[in-house]
Structure 1
Amino acid sequence: MSHQALSELHVIPQGQTINGEYYHRPPVDSIVDEEIVDAFIMLVSATDLDSGLNAMITYSVIPDTQFAMDATTGILTTKMALDREVLSSYSPRICATDGGSPSNQVCQLKTMEC
């Protein structure tokens, strides 16, 4: 049985395409609309070289107080209305975990501004 570590996490901010290039993190990964609950922020995509259940990816966000991550689709949204006057920038950790046993996880810090 082949065991490969999850090694890439691709993040596509709203309104931006990557066109197959390696993702190079800009100073700000996404701009978040203020005062909107359940606003789309970005789509996360990860791949694993294993097959079957070991290749299944589960997505998460840490902390999950201001943001929600769809564990299956990788869609990151706001969980509450954000207020630029209170905090103008957020840096949650976006994680992708494979279905292997033991599982492998890759996390990236993403910077978002209101």
Structure 2
Amino acid sequence: MGYGLLAAAIAAEVAGTTAMKYSEGFTRLWPSLITVAGYLLAFSLLAQTLKTMSMGTAYAIWAGIGTAAIAVIGMLFMGESGSLVKAAGIALIIAGVVVLNLGGAH
């Protein structure tokens, strides 16, 4: 149950972040509303997730998958540049978040 809620929280956060790009600085109504709704839903689901999962594990997964998903969406759908160096940097960020949250924080 915890991983399902976490997956839904990540999806809501990614949707909210993607909509934020289209909100043009919160000057467009519908993307702005989707951004707010996405983040409210994401944090509500994350709070429910933390009832059954450890905070470090949940946050490491949240940050890692969310970061990777937004980077891929940016490259595939929003015309952001992609390179091997960028991919390696993203992988290092995700690895660092995972190490800090799972291995280093007690």
Same fold by TM-score, threshold 0.5 exceeded?
no
Q: Which has the higher strand share?
A: 1
What is the TM-score when the length of structure 1 is the normalising length?
A: 0.25
Q: Which has the higher helix share?
A: 2
